[in-house]
Amino acid sequence: MWCLLCVVICVPGCISTDGSGPDHLYSALAKTLCGGPVGRHMPTEKKKQQDRYPDKSPNKSLELLRECEEALRTRPARLHRAFSYQNLSGDLHQKTIRVMQWNILAQALGEGLDGFVRCPLEALNWSERKYLILEEILTYQPDILCLQEVDHYFDTFQPILARLGYQSTFCPKPCSPCLHLANNNGPDGCALFFRRERFELMGFTHLQLAATHLHTNQVAIVCTLRCRETRQMLCVAVTHLKARSGWEMLRSAQGLDLLSKLKTIVQETRRIGVDEKVSRMGVPLLVCGDFNAEPSEDVYRQFATSSLGLDSAYKQLSCDGETEPPYTTWKIRPSGESCNTLDYIWYSRQHLSVDAVLQFPTAEQIGPDRLPSYNYPSDHLSLVCDFSFCNSPE
């Protein structure tokens, strides 16, 4: 099988060079998209049995990883990151849920507006950068994947990840800055992927965030999932709040709006009470996002103190249980260097426990030119956590 894979991968012309070529990644793929029009948040009919499980043989994930390695063979070694574990009282027999949060950097913005002066344009060449992004995802194999700044959903991430067994939905920004740039690939937005083998989609909502009743250009997705094995329910949200300093008040208003909508969705899910446990205990919640806000900002405090009982996963697993990582993004623009903590994975501490987090690379590993670079595709680092449900299902 190894030899066969190798031959397949090395055949010239098999690897796309411009992102639109007819290589096998981009051929007509299974149509498993669940997104579509903005939906009301109501549990949907159970999907039919036939599309429950992805085709597992051959190992497509391994196949694609090899393809990534081949496409990236001239790039420097990728950052090595280890997990740090916390061994709590959790049910050891329970399979953990791996969650990845990542602002992958919109291709149009990376090449255009963002002005990463220490990153050569060549390093951002989509025909290779897409493999760096896919490789990062495949390396950690998340069960739930929350992405921001996705401007290659329909031609890249949706079809490829569907083939690997993910179901997904995409919510573009109503007025994406990408649309003003030359050679854009459409609007950027948030995307949420989950493994169909592990979860069943019960309902989803696309939200346009409001600030004191006015619509803003920022969005969120909320999905209600049910674990196929344990039948546990789980609400997962992904968002990307307004960027840049000077917009703290707007981020704060967007955060409040998202929190209030999440409360409604969680209550509704609880009321519909798919099972008795949900009615009694409430619904576990995960909120992943690029909040564009340091921990000192209002919007962070609102999430940390909300009645939803949320905690930040990386803070929880820090040395003292009180500290966010020193950075989740690090870049050099004409205006200077910025090294900030802006990305978070929030979880409801009553329902979930964090078992592990993926550590961040050191300044030395990242290198003097910071991010993005030849060996890392985004100005934001990925956040990866393993969760388990606090109470094993009765």
Ligand X SMILES: *[C@@H]1O[C@H](CO)[C@@H](O)[C@H](O)[C@H]1NC(C)=O
The distance of Cα 293 from the centroid of its chain, to the nearest Å, equals 17
CA distance 132 to 74: 12
CA distance 92 to 95: 8
Q: Which stretch binds ligand X (CB under 6 A): 105-113, 125-133, 227-235, 258-266?
A: 125-133
Q: Which of 9, 25, 65, 358 binds ligand X (CB under 6 A)?
A: 65
- C-alpha distances in Å from residue 382, one per residue of 81, 98, 139: 11, 13, 11
Min separation Cβ 3 and ligand X, Å: 17
Task: Decide if residue 260 touches ligand X (CB under 6 A).
Answer: no
Q: Which two tokens stand for residue 223?
A: 């999905």
Min separation Cβ 135 and ligand X, Å: 10
Task: Decide if residue 53 touches ligand X (CB under 6 A).
Answer: no
Q: Which of 122, 320, 364, 394 binds ligand X (CB under 6 A)?
A: 122
Q: Which stretch binds ligand X (CB under 6 A): 59-67, 279-287, 357-365, 379-387?
A: 59-67
Min separation Cβ 141 and ligand X, Å: 6
CA distance 26 to 194: 20
Q: How many residues bind ligand X (CB under 6 A)?
A: 13
Q: Which two tokens stand for residue 192?
A: 């949420």
Q: Which stretch binds ligand X (CB under 6 A): 105-113, 121-129, 229-237, 265-273?
A: 121-129
Mention every residue, 6+ apart, whose C-beta is less than 8 A from residue 116. Answer: 110, 124, 331, 332, 333, 371, 372, 379
Q: Which of 8, 10, 51, 85 binds ligand X (CB under 6 A)?
A: 85
CA distance 138 to 65: 7
Task: Decide if residue 59 touches ligand X (CB under 6 A).
Answer: yes
Q: Which of 43, 54, 61, 94 binds ligand X (CB under 6 A)?
A: 61
Give residue 309's region: left, alpha or beta (phi > 0; psi -120 to 50).
Answer: left
The distance of Cα 163 from the centroid of its chain, to the nearest Å, equals 18
Task: Decide if residue 338 touches ligand X (CB under 6 A).
Answer: no
Q: Which stretch binds ligand X (CB under 6 A): 3-11, 55-63, 234-242, 311-319?
A: 55-63
Q: Which of 127, 208, 340, 375 binds ligand X (CB under 6 A)?
A: 127
Q: Which of 141, 217, 316, 350 binds ligand X (CB under 6 A)?
A: 141
Mention every residue, 6+ apart, whose C-beta is less than 8 A from residue 393. Answer: 230, 231, 232, 277
Task: Decide if residue 391 touches ligand X (CB under 6 A).
Answer: no
Q: Which of 7, 8, 11, 17 binds ligand X (CB under 6 A)?
A: 17
Task: Decide if residue 45 touches ligand X (CB under 6 A).
Answer: no
- C-alpha distances in Å from residue 299, one per residue of 66, 142, 260, 346: 41, 27, 13, 13
Q: Which two tokens stand for residue 356?
A: 């592990």
Question: Site residues (CB under 6 A) for ligand X?
Answer: 17, 56, 59, 61-62, 65, 85, 87, 122, 125, 127-128, 141
